[in-house]
Amino acid sequence: MALYQTTPTYFEFAGNAVRRFLYSFITWALAAHSTVINFYLLSFKRPRTYRQKKQIMQHEFSLEYARSLDSNDALRKYREQFYAPYFQNRRAIYFLGNSLGLQPKNAQQEVMAIMEGWANFGVEGFFLGDDPWINYHKKITPLLCDIIGAKNEEIVTMNHLTVNLHLLMVSFYQPTPTRYKIICEAKAFPSDQYAFQSQVKLHGFNPADAIIEVYPKEGTDLITTEDIEAVIDLHKDSVALVLFSGVNYYTGQAFDIKAITEAAHKAGAYAGFDLAHAAGNIKLQLHDWQVDFACWCNYKYLNSGPGAIAGCFIHERNASNTELPRLQGWWGNDIANRFKMSDTFTATPTAESWAMSTSPMMLLAAHKASLDMFAAAGFDILLHKAKALSDYLFFALNHINQPAAKFRIITPANPDERGCQVSLSVHKNAKAVFDTLLPFGIFADWREPNVIRIAPVPLYNSFEEIYIFAEVLQQILNAA
Q: Do 195 and 256 have their domain in common?
A: yes
- How far apart CA 382 and CA 389 sit, in angstroms, is 10
Backbone angles phi, psi at 454, to 5 degrees: -135, 145
Cα radius of gyration rounded to whole Å, the chain: 24
Same domain, 345 and 266: yes
Residue 270 lies in a domain: yes
- pTM of the entire predicted model: 0.88
Q: pLDDT digit string (tens) for 450-464?
A: 999 999 999 999 999
Do both 258 and 406 map to the same domain? no
Task: Examine the domain organization and report whether 172 and 313 are in the same domain.
Answer: yes
pLDDT at res. 480: 80
**Cα gap 343→364, rounded to integer Å:** 28
pLDDT at 126 over 90: yes
pLDDT at 26: 44
Q: Provide the domain count of the chain.
A: 2
Q: Give the domain extent around 228.
A: 137-358
CATH number at 38 reads 3.90.1150.10
Element (H, E) at 34: helix 34-37
Q: Same structural domain for residues 408 and 298?
A: no
| Residue 466 belongs to a domain | yes
Residue 376 lies inside a defined structural domain of this protein: no
CA 68 to each of CA 47, 55, 138, 381, 457: distance values in angstroms, whole numbers, following the listed order: 8, 14, 41, 18, 18
Q: How far apart (Å, rounded) are the C-alpha atoms in residues 171 and 154?
A: 15
Q: How far apart are the first and last CA of the chain?
A: 41
Q: Is 462 exposed, middle or buried (0-12, 13-18, 19+ CB in 10 A)?
A: buried
Residues 232, 352, single domain; the answer is yes
Q: Is 325 exposed, middle or buried (0-12, 13-18, 19+ CB in 10 A)?
A: exposed
Question: Residue 283 CB: number of other CB atoms within 10 A?
Answer: 16
Residue 10 has pLDDT above 60, yes or no: no
Q: What is the DSSP letter of 45?
A: P
**Cα(317)–Cα(350) distance, rounded to whole angstroms?**
9
CA dist 419 and 183 (Å) reads: 23
Same-domain status, 228 and 191: yes
Which residues are registered as beta bridge partners of 407?
426
Q: What is the mean pLDDT of residues 185-211?
A: 97
Last residue within a domain, chosen from 313, 340, 358: 358
Q: pLDDT tens across 365-417, in order?
A: 999 999 999 999 999 999 999 999 999 999 999 999 999 999 999 999 999 99
Does the residue 258 lie in any domain? yes
DSSP codes, 196-237: HHHHHHHTT--HHHHEEEEPPPTT-S---HHHHHHHHHHTTT
Note whether residue 4 is domain-resident: no
pLDDT at 79 over 70: yes
State whether 171 and 320 are in the same domain. yes
DSSP secondary structure of 82-94: B---EETTEE-EE
Rounded alpha-carbon distances, angstroms, from residue 143 to 13, 46, 140, 151, 313:
42, 32, 5, 11, 14
Q: Residue 293 belongs to a domain with what CATH number? A: 3.40.640.10
Q: Which amino acid is at 156?
A: V
The residues facing 272 across adjacent strands are 243, 293
Question: Could you read off the pLDDT of 316-365 as tens digits, one per residue?
Answer: 999 999 889 999 998 989 888 888 888 889 899 999 999 999 999 999 99
In a domain, 250, yes or no: yes
d(CA 37, CA 101): 28
Co-location of 199 and 59 in the same domain:
no
